[in-house]
Each structure stands twice: as C-alpha cells, then as structure tokens.
C-alpha cells in the first residue's frame, strides 16, 4: 500500500507570496491532518479534514487554510507568506477512528526569503 | 488541554547499550499514546501505540513502551541500541475532540545519538 505522498518536497518563496502544498493520503483513509514543524515551536497541529469538511483547527492565523477533495486528497494554502512560515509541513492520514494512528508523509520543506 | 513533556533534549548512548526515553503526559481521561521516530529530512514513523489493555506494548525495531497511569508516563525502551537508531523521537498524546477525529499533541522530541 502506498504511503502518504506530499508534493513538492521543497519550496522557496518570497515574503508576501502565497503557496499551495498537496497531500495524497493512504488509500482508504478519509482523514487528513496537517502539522507545522519548526525548531523553535516543534510540531504544531494546523487542521484536520474529514469527508471534505474541516473538523478540527489549531491556533494558526487565517492565512493558513486548507481543503479536501472528494478523493480525500488535501491541499494546504498559506497566503501573504512571512519569514516565520519557514518550516517543514507534514501531512498525515488516518482512518478517522479516534484510536487510529496517524501515518505521516515526508513533508514539504518551505523556505520563505 | 493535553500536554506532553520529554525532559531529555539530547541523549547519547553507546551501541549495544540499553535505552530509555522519558515521556510524561497530562490528560484528564485515558489517553491514546504514541511514539514516533523521525530521521533527518523525513516524516514521522510510528513506533508503537497504546490505547488500552496491557500496559507494556511492543513496537517495531525492537522498541517497547510501558504505560504507567500513576506516574502519567509512557517511557520508550530498547534493550540494545543499534547505530541506525540515531534519530529524533517524539512522544504524542491523542484525544478525541468534539466533532470527532483526533488531534495529536507532541512533545518537543529527544535527539538520540549513538556512539560506535
């Protein structure tokens, strides 16, 4: 079974631009979550999508948004990029049961200059 | 709100030595507990999980963890470390949230270095 696929692996953007990251979950998984990982803040929860609906949201500004498509693939968008948005963005999928572990992709490394 | 503490930022062990990584959590109910490992430039790989039942759980790569409710701990152990175990290890607690689904809260991680 293929794992979680994130594209692209690396991105370099300039302050003020926007960016879209993509995530394809494991086949059959309907829940997709996004996490931001930085050296200073560690792993922080952004949001979770299930059946095309945002089900949970972390404490991030409205510049961070996402969506999920009918095939469970998800995209995350960050608008008006700031230097502090430089991070590894990790996508994880699960079967949506509360006791289902998250399966992570290898992440997208975003650098904002 | 749940929280996770990993008190050791860095740990160095010799190859073949035993390993214990500490994890303490704060959560009002019975938590779902996980250990993940991350190699440089990679995502997180699940080592093991605890939901209920036997408090000693076995995972992949020879790792095990013991849930101790009285100490709010979920320490990760391995009897004999291999050089390939060098990586960063994250403890996480999951909770059912309103509306369904789950959300993981991660500790700050422990960086493991293995000396040959």
Per residue in A28-73, pLDDT (tens digit) is 999 999 999 999 899 999 999 999 999 889 999 999 999 999 999 9
Peptide bond into B100 cis (omega under 30): no
Per residue in B76-101, pLDDT (tens digit) is 999 999 999 999 999 999 876 555 56
pLDDT attached to residue A98: 65
In whole angstroms, what is the distance from residue A82 CA to residue A70 CA? 31
pLDDT attached to residue B97: 58
Which residue numbers of B have CB closer than 8 Å to A's CBs? 32, 34, 36, 41-46, 49, 51, 90, 94, 96-97, 99-109
The overall average pLDDT reported for chain B is 91
Q: Which two tokens mark B41?
A: 């430039």
The DSSP string of A37-97 is EETTTEEEEEEEEETTEEEEE-S--TTEEEEE-TTS-EEEEE-S--GGG-EEEEEEEE-S-
Are B76 and B21 contacting, i.e. CB atoms less than 8 angstroms apart? yes
User: Is some CB atom of chain B closer than 8 A to the CB atom of A104?
Assistant: yes
Chain A partners of B96 at a C-beta cutoff of 8 Å? 98
pLDDT attached to residue B98: 56
pLDDT attached to residue B101: 61
Going residue by residue through chain B (116 aa), what tens digit of pLDDT does each one get? 789 999 999 999 999 999 999 999 988 777 889 999 999 888 999 999 998 888 999 999 999 999 999 999 999 999 999 999 999 999 999 876 555 566 889 999 999 999 99
pLDDT beyond 90 at A13:
yes
Instruction: Judge: B100–A103 Cβ closer than 8 Å, yes or no.
Output: no
Cβ pairs A/B, distance under 8 A: 67
Instruction: Judge: B43–A96 Cβ closer than 8 Å, yes or no.
Output: no
Chain B partners of A55 at a C-beta cutoff of 8 Å? 99-101
User: Is some CB atom of chain B closer than 8 A to the CB atom of A11?
Assistant: no
In whole angstroms, what is the distance from residue B18 CA to residue A84 CA? 39
Per residue in A64-110, pLDDT (tens digit) is 999 999 999 999 999 999 999 999 999 999 986 766 789 999 999 99
Name which of A56, A58, A104 is nearest B101 (Cβ-Cβ).
A56
């Amino acid at each position: 079974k293929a794992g979680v696929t994130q594209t692209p692996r690396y991105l370099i953007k300039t302050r003020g631009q926007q960016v879209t990251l993509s995530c394809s979950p494991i086949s059959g998984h309907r829940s997709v979550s996004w996490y931001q990982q930085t050296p200073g803040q560690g792993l922080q929860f952004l949001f979770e999508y299930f059946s095309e609906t945002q089900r949970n949201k972390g404490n991030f500004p409205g510049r961070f948004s996402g969506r999920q498509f009918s095939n469970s693939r998800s995209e995350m968008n960050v608008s008006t990029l700031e230097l502090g948005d430089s991070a590894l963005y990790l996508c994880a999928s699960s079967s949506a049961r509360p006791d289902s572990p998250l399966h992570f992709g290898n992440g997208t490394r975003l650098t904002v200059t | 709100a749940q929280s996770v503490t990993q008190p050791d930022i860095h740990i160095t062990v010799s190859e073949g030595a035993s390993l214990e990584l500490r994890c303490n959590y704060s959560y009002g109910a019975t938590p779902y507990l996980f250990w993940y490992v991350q190699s440089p430039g990679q995502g997180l790989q699940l080592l093991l999980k605890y939901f209920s039942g036997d408090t000693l759980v076995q995972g992949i790569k020879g790792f095990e963890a013991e849930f101790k409710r009285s100490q709010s701990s979920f320490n990760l152990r391995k009897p004999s470390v291999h050089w390939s175990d060098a990586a960063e290890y994250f403890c996480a607690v999951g909770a059912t949230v309103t509306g369904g689904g789950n959300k993981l809260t991660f500790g700050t991680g422990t960086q493991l270095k293995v000396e040959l």
